[in-house]
Amino acid sequence: MKRLNIMTTAAFDVDPQYAFTPECPDELPVEGGTEIVPELNAQATLAAIRVGSKDAHSPHAIWVANKQQPMFTEVHGDHVDIAWNQHAVPGTKGFELIAGLPKPAEYDYFVWKGIELDMHPYGACYHDLSETMSTGVIEFLQTRKIDTVIVGGLATDYCVKTTALQLRKSKFEVIVNLAACRGIAAETIEQAITEMTTAGIHIVRDYQELERL
């Protein structure tokens, strides 16, 4: 890939919320989730624009796991797939960005996703699973003449992967910084890396490798 040009590069913080950290054990805790903050901040120094996203879910969403509908069971609907533990409910700790990150209003663009009871998107670029209703972030990056996006966040194997693939489909050069991500399970992380590489996404180990590009 060609050298990183700060002026045309954006950094994307995907769902770096307590919901996906061990601080919220009843939500979707990802080992080491809070450790990504210094890497997200470091990669942002290589970018002119910083954008971010957050899950914003109702406790009454149809995909919330319960006794009748345990986690991972199939949920029927156009924009839901499987049941997940309740997570990232506005007003709770799980909704908050991990300490050390900017506040949402301090980003250049910010996406809140999954507010509808019958929609559970993974990627931050579309509100729906069929990827037709834009959240506006791709158009924002295009307007700002961004051609390269460095991506990190939680979790590698779900929301980070889907966001990176969506950006790639819109012709951005996409770099996923593994040190700025943590994933849910080793097997799905491996699969995600293969899928992203196949799509032409660059994978780097950490900020130091990014700096050398």
Report the interface residues with ligand VGL, using CB under 6 A. 15, 20, 28, 55, 84, 154-155, 158-159
Phi-psi region of 190 (alpha: psi -120 to 50; beta: other; left: phi over 0): alpha
Q: How far is the CB of 209 from ligand VGL (least distance, A)?
A: 23
Q: How far is residue 209's CA from residue 213's CA, in Å, rounded to a whole number?
A: 7
Q: How far is residue 54's CA from residue 187's CA, in Å, rounded to a whole number?
A: 25
Name 176's bridge partners.
151, 203
Q: How far is residue 62's CA from residue 69's CA, in Å, rounded to a whole number?
A: 10
Cβ pair 152, 40 in contact under 8 A: yes
> Measuring CA to CA, which residue among 182, 164, 185 is closest to residue 174?
164
Q: How far is the CB of 41 from ligand VGL (least distance, A)?
A: 19
Return the SS3 of 143: helix
Residue 20 or 126 with smaller CB distance to ligand VGL:
20
Residue 41 or 163 with smaller CB distance to ligand VGL:
163
Q: How far is the CB of 43 from ligand VGL (least distance, A)?
A: 18
For residue 22, how many C-alpha atoms fall within 13 Å in the half-sphere facing its CB?
A: 7
Q: How far is the CB of 21 from ligand VGL (least distance, A)?
A: 11
Residue 9 or 84 with smaller CB distance to ligand VGL:
84
Q: How far is the CB of 52 from ligand VGL (least distance, A)?
A: 12
Residue 57 or 168 with smaller CB distance to ligand VGL:
57
Residue 46 or 154 with smaller CB distance to ligand VGL:
154
Residue 50 or 120 with smaller CB distance to ligand VGL:
120
Q: How far is the CB of 159 from ligand VGL (least distance, A)?
A: 3
Q: How far is residue 75's CA from residue 116's CA, in Å, rounded to a whole number?
A: 15
Encoded amino acid at 102, one letter: P
